Amino acid sequence: MKSVEKLIIETHFASENDKQQAIQAAETKLHKEINELSAQSLINSIDISDCINAIDYDYYTQSELEQNDYYTNESQIDDIIEIENIKDKQIDEELQDIDENQQDIDDDQLMIHNESMNEMNTPIQSKDTKEIDLYQSEPIISDEDREDQHWKRTLQQTLKQRTANAISKQYNYQNFNKGYVQEIETGKAIDISKCPYLAVVDIDVDKKLDESNRKITHDDILQQLNSIKSLKVSLVQTAHGGIHIYCDMRKNKLRQNSMSDIIKSLESNLLNKRYGVDVFACVTSYSEKFQLKTLRQVVLPESRVKDKDSEIELQYIAINHMWNISKLSDVSKISKTLNFDMNLIVNDGNSKEINVKKLSKAKWDGPRKNNLKLWSLFQEYLIKEVIAANDNNIYEYILNWINFNLQHPSIKTRVAIVIRGVQGTGKNTFSDVLCDLMTGYSAKNITDIEEITGNFKAVIDNKSLIVLNELKNFTEQRALNSNALKSIITDDVQRINEKFVARRDSYNVSNLIFISNNYCPVKNEASDWRYLVCQTLDAHRHNFEHFNEIHQAIKQAGFYDSLYSFFMKRDISKANLQVVPMTDAKKDIQKVSKSPVENFVVQYLKQLIQGMECSQALYYKPRELTEFQLKAQLKAICDYERKNAPKSNCAKKIGYYKLKSGLIIDYESMKEEDIEINSDDDDEIYKLKIISNDQKGDVINE
């Protein structure tokens, strides 16, 4: 403060032009000394304007002295210095009081901080009495520590407290509240996306079991859960005898809020064959903008529901005092108790999804020498020789299709692979390897196509690869909805309609493989590009030693890691999956898939390109169609025109059907195929001859 005092005195004796500079110098010096005495909190506490006003007052006094010639009077100057000393002393005392108050505040904050850190068992440095950083008035807490504290506070709450702001009403047995009052309130549900760290494990007992076996399975699960005394979970019996297990999820991370049928096919536990497991958790918090992705509702106890196909009223029942339970056990403890593998569902840093990212950064130099035979068996002999039938274009397309599926798991290929062939040719070996490669995000060996084309379609939720096996000919499948199947293959969003849960829209990232021993498992029209159809070779059908060698190679350590690395590093930047190779097998299916109107167009293609009279078209209509059906179907592929008949003087105009220009190429291709087939049939007839009667008149082929 002495330096400031000196500046103020100099201000009194400064000339008129230098007074403003002197005042600014005093202000700057005062700020600097205050900063040296205290922290920023002291600066905020001091009213600098008082000091500035004092200087302004001195400047005014100085001007008055100049006007009255007082500055020559030494006694007057001494009086001024004494006044300034008194003011400086007052300022010093105020600064000391503020400093002492701030010291008390810092001590209190440090004590609170020490207590908080001791509770978290985290060491803390003792206060340095020589130098205290007063700018750090509050401890710095990392995001990880802040989340940890939030989780600990949440864990202390009861389930009732954790779900209080996430409950919505249920109306008319199935429809959730959409913002308007409906007829009957029949229950409630929670939106799991609004409940941080909460998870619900849904044990779905197989509905195909009879009542007694369902009860046995239900009781076995409860017995396992009750056998662990330290297990703290909330339990609810679902409408069909399943169990909802409310637990905590902090360490483990799901890929999204809903994971369905995650261990349905697990073979390690015989009990698991009798039930499937879904897990719902708050991975992505609720968002209006991304409602489709985040919303996941779970029905609460005392709610009444009805089967969609019956009027029987069913109810969810609380098994224990669920609402009062706090400090819920972690989901990993549930998986350990029921003996299912959490690695199938979690993304905790050790899952295959993370390994993919690591492998994608690795340099790919091809398979190691000791695995060269293994790669030859799987890629060249299984994929190329068997699945692609030694067609290089098909082989490259299949590799690109797998590549895209792995490198872009959130984007659909929009093309399905159809593999047909006799039993024992290696079709399932190929698909099983791909499903194991994508464990947790694949569904293999689905034999009922209605699971993906029917009303519920829950199986497609969160699945990147779905394999449909043992399909019949499409003409024999009553449940096959070809248009719905096209939608599953190409559309990004599907309507999911699970039982007892409100209908919801879900992102559809699934890619399909169809496997069949039959001739035409899917319907594939001539203009439909969605399918790659492969016919397997049967060269190794009865060579059990060959397939055993492949199976043993697949079981070797490092096989799947090498396979991941190969596909993740393979360049597909120039590949176009929408250009699907044509195969003889696809042509066969397209021929069988022809509708009566397509056969009609092929037969009268020349007339329809030029323009065919409507009356003539009706005269030659296929027997399978009525006149109304033919008109409606021709209207979809033809332009309708009215014009005067050629070589006619009649003023009356006649209606014509003219094939749309964009479809001419497709039907010309179909025409050429028909001509080729007929030519092949004629060749076969010419190669036949009749054997004489003494050889029983059998027809043989030369």
> In the 3-class helix/strand/coil scheme, how is 249-260 assigned residue by residue?
CCCCCECCCEEC
Backbone angles phi, psi at 312, to 5 degrees: -75, 130
Give the three-class secondary structure for 154. Answer: helix
Which residue has tokens 């022809």? 594
Report CA-CA distances (Å) from 349 to 183, 252, 315, 411, 520.
48, 9, 39, 23, 43
264, two tokens: 């349905």
Length of the chain, in residues? 702
Whether the predicted pLDDT of 606 surpasses 80: yes
**271 lies in the same domain as 217:** yes
**383 lies in the same domain as 396:** yes
* Count of Cβ atoms closer than 10 Å to residue 88 Cβ: 17
Among residues of the chain, what percentage have pLDDT more than 90? 11
DSSP state of 574: T
Asked which of 50-64, 368-382, 470-484, 659-673 is least confident by mean pLDDT, the reply is 50-64
How far is it, in rounded angstroms, from Cα 363 to Cα 365? 6
How far is it, in rounded angstroms, from Cα 605 to Cα 657? 11
Count of domains observed in the chain: 4
Whether the CB-CB separation of 492 and 508 falls below 8 Å is answered with yes
361, two tokens: 């950064």
Model confidence over 323-379: pLDDT tens digits? 888 889 888 888 888 877 655 554 433 333 323 333 333 333 444 444 545 556 677
- The secondary structure of 637-672 as a DSSP string is HEEEEEEEPTT-----EEEEEEE-GGGHHHHHHHHH
Strand partners, 418: 514, 533
How far is it, in rounded angstroms, from Cα 378 to Cα 419? 17
- For residue 368, the model assigns a pLDDT of 46
Which residue has tokens 């009749």? 690
Whether the predicted pLDDT of 580 surpasses 70: yes
Asked whether residue 100 is domain-assigned, the answer is: no
273, two tokens: 């064959």
- Which of 590, 610, 631 is the C-terminal boundary of a domain? 590
**468 lies in the same domain as 541:** yes
- Which of 41, 59, 77 is the C-terminal boundary of a domain? 59
Model confidence over 71-114: pLDDT tens digits? 344 455 555 556 656 666 666 665 566 555 555 555 555 555 45
How far is it, in rounded angstroms, from Cα 551 to Cα 436? 13
**433 lies in the same domain as 299:** no
How far is it, in rounded angstroms, from Cα 438 to Cα 436? 5
Whether the predicted pLDDT of 447 surpasses 50: yes
* Count of Cβ atoms closer than 10 Å to residue 147 Cβ: 13
At residue 87's C-alpha, the angle toward residues 84 and 92, to 5°, is: 125
How far is it, in rounded angstroms, from Cα 523 to Cα 485? 10
Domain that holds residue 458: 369-590
Asked whether residue 702 is domain-assigned, the answer is: no
How far is it, in rounded angstroms, from Cα 432 to Cα 443? 10
Say how far residue 273 (Cα) sits from the centre of its chain: 27
Instruction: Identify which of 2, 91, 98 has the alpha carbon closest to the alpha carbon of residue 48.
Output: 91
Write the CB contacts of 543 (distance below 8 Å, at least 6 apart in sequence).
none
Asked whether residue 93 is domain-assigned, the answer is: no
| Crossing angle of the two packed helices 427-437 and 544-554, in degrees rounded to 10 | 0
- The secondary structure of 419-435 as a DSSP string is EE--TTSSHHHHHHHHH
Which residue has tokens 């030369």? 702
**581 lies in the same domain as 671:** no
How far is it, in rounded angstroms, from Cα 416 to Cα 397? 12
Asked whether residue 694 is domain-assigned, the answer is: no
**423 lies in the same domain as 326:** no
**267 lies in the same domain as 408:** no
Instruction: Identify which of 507, 485, 280 has the alpha carbon closest to the alpha carbon of residue 410.
Output: 507
**583 lies in the same domain as 600:** no
Model confidence over 269-298: pLDDT tens digits? 444 457 878 888 877 665 555 444 446 788
Residue 42 confidence class, pLDDT cut points 50, 70, 90: very low
**395 lies in the same domain as 323:** no
Model confidence over 630-665: pLDDT tens digits? 999 999 899 998 887 776 666 678 899 999 988 888
Say how far residue 636 (Cα) sits from the centre of its chain: 38
172, two tokens: 């008319």
**474 lies in the same domain as 418:** yes
DSSP state of 166: S
DSSP state of 691: P
Helices (H), 501-641: 544-554, 559-569, 584-593, 596-603, 605-610, 614-619, 627-637
Q: Which helix (H) or strand (E) holds 411?
A: none
Whether the predicted pLDDT of 208 surpasses 80: no
Strand partners, 346: 254
- Which of 310, 344, 378 is the C-terminal boundary of a domain? 344
Which residue has tokens 């520590």? 145
* Count of Cβ atoms closer than 10 Å to residue 182 Cβ: 14
Buried b or exposed e, range 473-512, using 16+ CB within 10 angstroms? bbeebeebbbebbbebbeeeebebbbbbbbebebbbbbbb
Whether the predicted pLDDT of 178 surpasses 50: no
How far is it, in rounded angstroms, from Cα 348 to Cα 350? 6
How far is it, in rounded angstroms, from Cα 581 to Cα 399? 13
Whether the predicted pLDDT of 59 surpasses 80: no
Q: Region 231-260: what's the mean pLDDT? A: 77
How far is it, in rounded angstroms, from Cα 667 to Cα 331? 58
- CATH assignment at residue 249: 3.30.2250
- CATH assignment at residue 604: 1.10.10
DSSP state of 454: S
Write the CB contacts of 581 (distance below 8 Å, at least 6 apart in sequence).
391, 393, 394, 397, 532
Write the CB contacts of 431 (distance below 8 Å, at least 6 apart in sequence).
419, 444, 467, 469, 513, 515
- CATH assignment at residue 503: 3.40.50.300
Asked whether residue 513 is domain-assigned, the answer is: yes
Say how far residue 93 (Cα) sits from the centre of its chain: 65
Q: Between the CA atoms of 621, 627, 630 and 634, what dihedral angle is there, to the nearest 10 degrees?
A: 100
Model confidence over 540-563: pLDDT tens digits? 777 787 788 778 878 877 788 778
- For residue 555, the model assigns a pLDDT of 80
- For residue 6, the model assigns a pLDDT of 55
How far is it, in rounded angstroms, from Cα 311 to Cα 685? 62
- Strands (E) across 121-242 are located at 167-171, 175-176, 185-191, 198-205, 234-237
Instruction: Identify which of 635, 626, 643 has the alpha carbon closest to the alpha carbon of residue 659.
Output: 635
Asked whether residue 349 is domain-assigned, the answer is: no
* Count of Cβ atoms closer than 10 Å to residue 36 Cβ: 7
Asked whether residue 86 is domain-assigned, the answer is: no
Instruction: Identify which of 219, 196, 222 has the alpha carbon closest to the alpha carbon of residue 209.
Output: 219
| Crossing angle of the two packed helices 74-119 and 19-37, in degrees rounded to 10 | 30
Indicate the pairing of strand 234-237 with strand 243-248.
antiparallel
Which residue has tokens 């009444």? 304
**409 lies in the same domain as 464:** yes
431, two tokens: 């698909």
**207 lies in the same domain as 280:** yes
Give the three-class secondary structure for 152. Answer: helix
Residue 692 vs residue 252, higher pLDDT: 252
pLDDT, mean over the chain = 72
How far is it, in rounded angstroms, from Cα 62 to Cα 22? 13
Residue 413 confidence class, pLDDT cut points 50, 70, 90: very high
Buried b or exposed e, range 588-624, using 16+ CB within 10 angstroms? bbbbebbeebbebbbebbebbbebbebeebeeebbee
Asked whether residue 149 is domain-assigned, the answer is: no
How far is it, in rounded angstroms, from Cα 5 to Cα 466? 86
DSSP state of 378: I
